[in-house]
Structure 1
Amino acid sequence: MKAVSKRRRKQSAIYAAIALLAGLHTAFAAAGDDHDRDRGRENGRNSPVKHVLLISFDGLHQQDVARCIGANTCPNLALLANAGTTYANAYTPGLSDSFPGLAALVTGGSPKSAGLFYDVTYDRTLYAPSDSNCSGPTGWNVVFDETTGIDAVNGGALTHLDGGGAFNPQAIPHALVNGVCTPVYPHNYIKTNTVFEVIKSHVRGARTAWADKHAWGYDWLNGPSGAGVDDLSRTEINSIDPATNTNFTDLYTHTETFDNLHVQSLLNEIDGKDSTGQTSAPVPTVFGANFQTLSVAQKATVANKGGYLDASFTPGPQVAGAIAYLDNALGRIVAELKQRNLYDSTAIIVTAKHGQSPADSSKLVKNGDTLSKLLETSGYLDANGNFGQNSTQTGNLNDGSGLAGTGFVQTDDVGLIWLRDQSQLPAVVKTLKANLSCNAPGICADGPQAYILYGQQLANRFGDPARGRTPDIIVQPNPGVIYTSSKSKDEEHGGNSPDDSHLGLVVYVPHAHHAGQVNNERVLTTQVAPTILQLLDVEPGLLQAVALEGTRALPGFEHRD
């Protein structure tokens, strides 16, 4: 009897131990499941994110972000950073003009994939807008800017905020598509799809919206389908403001008036209306806007209190005022999200299309457009500058009288060269290399951070020029060089100098772990696009540029097995 009881007590103890181990295993498994679910939420799997708001404060350097947070001059951005992740080493993918800068954010690709090198480019395969039969010479200087709106027909004044309400037919080139001469609108010009198209196709009931600085030039955001953005706000920054009889870029405080239109568009959309506030509409799944106030303040001359005071990015009065305005605008937008109970389901990404160069005005060099002049005087382009849209009858771009088949040069603080005769490439490179100094007729590209990119190296990075879109040569001059004689600006963008390309990037995701962290890994702004899709639980590889370039989501937001 005693032996049986002893045996039973031993069995009971064993069963109890087994039960305890099973319980511990279940607890650990549950904890692991909870951890996986939390990690999944952070990385987009089973994500609580229902909306993504993308904001581009053009010109916003990482140094601006660090400085204003440290000095408490951007409290709203600081609150967002404290609740999110700041990427301290974010860069543009090779070129920093507005088109490739924004394309990086919404396609996940560099110019090599998206095909957008600048808002003013050249394509050897296209026919002139007036050549509706595609029977003349090919090679067209494509200009998708403020003159893309119908107000600019025949060089007309830009009198309407919406650019006149339609495309300027003189801005739309033609291409042979399956033997048919076909107009090439901006959405036909981009070579890959966008996040807007992918989300509309793969998120049930999705709505998309965006507001930018040119009413019709930014039609490319729609992607090749032409229908990616449900609500593309038609606002033109270069239109004439009746209140001042000037456009909105004359002074940064006037640019604030323009940017306020974009703030109001976002507030309307958060409130369940379209961008105009006139019609009820679902809150967009992905939406956002571009802001120009900081860019205008940075470009303003130091003599007029624009730009920065030193190489440490100490803001001058205009830049300080612009940062304060943008932070206030951000605060209004976030407050509206909270008011509408959307803050806990909306990811917010604050970054920029591009930076601005040079922050250190002591490095500024303005010798005029010595690059174009050298090419002209050497016989590689027309000696009188009669190439592309640089020589029109009215003096205005996109008036319909530009020249086809001429080659083209686009310069700011970079030089993109499409040769009239591609067989002259070796001779042109030799001429450029023989004139690298800043002394006339030099192109001011003799420093350690300057380079001339051409041949296979250029093709590897930007695509093959023989296919028509990619420049034959890219000239990156010394940091601080701007190919202009303009007395109205001391900074520019477009190239790959550090001040152009090193951007602010703050990502807030509801309920994400590690709030307030600073990530120091080097990342590219192309990684924003797959991150947006990841947050909405959509496969990033559906973006064609992501698939082509192997772009990954930002660190901390990748799917993990």
Structure 2
Amino acid sequence: MKTARRWSAGLVALSAMALAVGSALAPAQASETSGIKHVLLISFDGLHEQDVARCIGGNTCPNLALLAKSGVTYTNAYTPGLSDSFPGLAALVTGGSPKTAGLFYDVSYDRTLYAPSDTGCVGKQGWNVVFDETTGIDAQNGGALVHLDGGGDFNPQAIPRARKGAKCVPVYPHDYVKTNTIFEVVKENLPGSHTAWADKHAWGYDWLNGPSGRGVDDLARTEINSIDPVTQTNYTDVYTHTEQFDDFHVQALINQINGKDSTGTRNEPVPTLFGTNFQTLSVAEKATVANGGGYLDASFTPGPNVSGAITYLDNSLGLIVAALKQQNLYASTLIIVTAKHGQSPSDHTKLVKNGDTLTKLLETSNYLDPNGNFGQNNTKSGNLNDGTGLVGTGFVQTDDVGLIWLRDQSQRDAVVATLKQNLSCNVPGICADGPQAYILSGNALTARFGDPSLGRTPDIVVQPNPGVIYTSSKTKDEEHGGNAPDDSHLGLVVSYAGLHGGGRAIQARVQTTQVAPTILRALDLDPQLLHSVAAEGTHSLPGLGLGHGSDE
């Protein structure tokens, strides 16, 4: 188990790092991939391909535009079937879809697991696995999230258990992911390498370490849902507040570029592989249109919040590149800018919020408890991961998708029939009656996501009409998680100063799973070292000419 590193009391002023990126990003004359010594992966969550095209064309993201001039822009990059943060990031760092990585959502279900309190694995199986902000020890017994580092350890009530031989063992997030990660591959195959990452949940993203539990040397423990001591709110209330959280990640990268750990408190090697996640754009997109969030039209014209968020992200990118240049690392660093997921719907006229009609239909049909007493919807404190959730109940996860783990798998066909009888948007309909909607089950689901009988894969996946969010929330007008076009079509720019003929756009369809093998090729490692790449036959990205045996 990795221990948390404490953040220093003050954040170094980012404005002091605002050095001009300038025109020195022009592409070099020859491609010498042996010159790549570092890879920096950045996820601007919510970044659509249309955002990239519009901001570069309108000169509202000059730093990203300069990177694109020395790189390749992929105009048809997509997530592999689901777009929640877990499968979205898993695609980037494992090269695999949920079928092999085993990550469907940060809140999911596994029929093979036991409750955290069942230390002998003698009770019922089937646990609602929640690896989010409540995975940190601050949330134990429903406690308040008062520390930026989540309290400095795992919440034992969030850690389910599994039987391994004669033993009943805890299942930490790094045990939960079913395949290895690029961090592990780099650590195991490049002597003297160093790895780092920073994300939005301090302890739920422990799975980036991979099954070894040791893939990331410097995993910054930052929790976006922690309480800001100044405002007494978390960092997701408004996008400008989220900028303050993302500033922690900007500073973490700058510290690492300067030969420090993420907190800036001790000397460490500059990471061979490092990166971070930004949440500002995602929060700006989710905000209601009435409050300045989202987009103004179907052409992705940004509203005021999104416009401000993109400016912030681009300025942050400029700070990071400037730091690389200041340390003479820019010429040896491959930079990848993309996203775990997009956000839906960009076209506000398509928004439908009829409430969670899918879960209600399942409950009223007795496929799930009619009173909502299933999984961790039923805890004594009312808070997730307080250790008192119910076992063996099945589960449904909804946002702009529906993932259904049935209480009784023998009811699958009956459930599908019920869903098909209620496809319209009229209550109690599930609003899945359009040409881009579908209900996936049986052999088709197994081929795409794995066999539900093995415990992890949902029995049924419902993709409603694009624009449908299974909520009645008055605070958000966009969501992600499913496979609607706006969820899955992402921005992707790969930049390297030594790339010959930079500034190109590739229109061929690619998947974000192709980022992982590309990173390994850039570091002259065999992509087949990634288990998901080997299992799914994932190719590296075209048009880069990275390493020997390229897929191009």
Q: Considering the TM-score relative to the shorter chain, is it more than 0.5? A: yes
Q: Distance in 1 between the 2:343 and 2:370 partners? A: 31
Q: Deviations over 1:339-395 (max 9, x none)?
A: 100000000000000000000000000000000000000010101010111111111
Q: Distance in 2 between the 1:439 and 1:121 partners? A: 28
Q: CA deviation at 1:557?
A: 3.6
Counterpart pick for 1:235 among 205, 222, 230: 222
Instruction: Please provide the CA RMSD for this pair.
Output: 1.0
Aligned counterpart, 1:106: 93
Q: CA deviation at 1:38?
A: 5.7
1:276-355 paired onto structure 2 within 5 Å:
276-355=263-342
Aligned letter for 2:360?
K
SS at structure 1 position matched to 2:412: helix
Residue 363, structure 1, aligned to residue 350, structure 2: yes
Residue 62, structure 1, aligned to residue 62, structure 2: no
1:206-225 paired onto structure 2 within 5 Å:
206-225=193-212
Residue 424, structure 1, aligned to residue 411, structure 2: yes
Aligned counterpart, 1:122: 109
Counterpart pick for 2:477 among 465, 486, 490: 490
Q: Which runs of 5+ in 1 are unaligned?
A: 1-36
Q: Give the conservation status (yes or no) of the 8 Å contact 2:101–2:179.
A: yes
Q: Which runs of 5+ in 2 are unaligned?
A: 1-28
Q: Give the conservation status (yes or no) of the 8 Å contact 2:94–2:516.
A: yes
Aligned letter for 2:99?
K
Q: Deviations over 1:404-434 (max 9, x none)?
A: 0000000000000000000000100000000
Q: Deviations over 1:85-135 (max 9, x none)?
A: 000000000000000000000000000000000000000000000000000
Larger Rg: 1
Counterpart pick for 2:156 among 169, 172, 178: 169
Q: Distance in 1 between the 2:462 and 2:544 partners? A: 35
Aligned letter for 1:182?
V
Q: CA deviation at 1:548?
A: 0.3
Counterpart pick for 1:149 among 132, 136, 141: 136
Q: Distance in 2 between the 1:38 and 1:405 partners? A: 59
SS at structure 2 position matched to 1:125: coil
Q: Distance in 1 between the 2:238 and 2:30 partners? A: 47
Q: Distance in 2 between the 1:534 and 1:60 partners? A: 25
Aligned counterpart, 1:21: none
Aligned letter for 2:392?
G
SS at structure 1 position matched to 2:35: coil
Aligned counterpart, 1:266: 253
Aligned counterpart, 1:15: none
Q: CA deviation at 1:214?
A: 0.1
SS at structure 2 position matched to 1:437: coil
Q: Distance in 1 between the 2:414 and 2:478 partners? A: 31
Q: Distance in 1 between the 2:457 and 2:501 partners? A: 41
Q: Give the conservation status (yes or no) of the 8 Å contact 1:48–1:510.
A: no
Counterpart pick for 1:469 among 456, 474, 495: 456
Aligned counterpart, 1:31: none
Q: CA deviation at 1:556?
A: 2.1
Q: Distance in 2 between the 1:207 and 1:326 partners? A: 26
Aligned counterpart, 2:232: 245
Aligned counterpart, 2:368: 381
Q: Distance in 2 between the 1:394 and 1:440 partners? A: 31
Q: CA deviation at 1:510?
A: 2.8
Matched positions, count: 520
Aligned letter for 2:352?
V
Q: CA deviation at 1:560?
A: 4.0
Q: CA deviation at 1:179?
A: 2.2
Q: CA deviation at 1:259?
A: 0.1
Aligned letter for 1:58?
D
Residue 446, structure 1, aligned to residue 408, structure 2: no
Q: Deviations over 1:255-305 (max 9, x none)?
A: 000000000000000000000101011100000000000000000000001
Aligned counterpart, 2:19: none
Q: Give the conservation status (yes or no) of the 8 Å contact 2:506–2:543.
A: no
Q: Give the conservation status (yes or no) of the 8 Å contact 1:96–1:353.
A: yes
Q: Give the conservation status (yes or no) of the 8 Å contact 1:209–1:287.
A: yes
Q: TM-score, normalised by structure 2?
A: 0.93
SS at structure 2 position matched to 1:268: helix
Q: Give the conservation status (yes or no) of the 8 Å contact 2:36–2:523.
A: yes
Aligned letter for 1:241?
D
Q: CA deviation at 1:513?
A: 1.5
SS at structure 1 position matched to 2:152: coil
Q: Distance in 1 between the 2:470 and 2:60 partners? A: 33
Counterpart pick for 2:538 among 531, 551, 554: 551
Aligned letter for 2:134?
T
Q: Give the conservation status (yes or no) of the 8 Å contact 2:209–2:215.
A: yes
Q: Give the conservation status (yes or no) of the 8 Å contact 1:49–1:510.
A: no
Q: Give the conservation status (yes or no) of the 8 Å contact 2:40–2:335.
A: yes
Q: Give the conservation status (yes or no) of the 8 Å contact 2:228–2:234.
A: yes
1:463-542 paired onto structure 2 within 5 Å:
463-542=450-529
The share of aligned pairs that are identical, in percent, is: 76
Q: Distance in 1 between the 2:103 and 2:500 partners? A: 36
Q: Distance in 1 between the 2:248 and 2:265 partners? A: 14
Q: Distance in 2 between the 1:513 and 1:90 partners? A: 22
Q: Give the conservation status (yes or no) of the 8 Å contact 2:251–2:262.
A: yes
Q: Give the conservation status (yes or no) of the 8 Å contact 2:257–2:327.
A: yes
SS at structure 2 position matched to 1:85: strand
Residue 188, structure 1, aligned to residue 194, structure 2: no
Q: Give the conservation status (yes or no) of the 8 Å contact 1:534–1:557.
A: no
Aligned letter for 1:513?
H
Q: CA deviation at 1:512?
A: 1.1
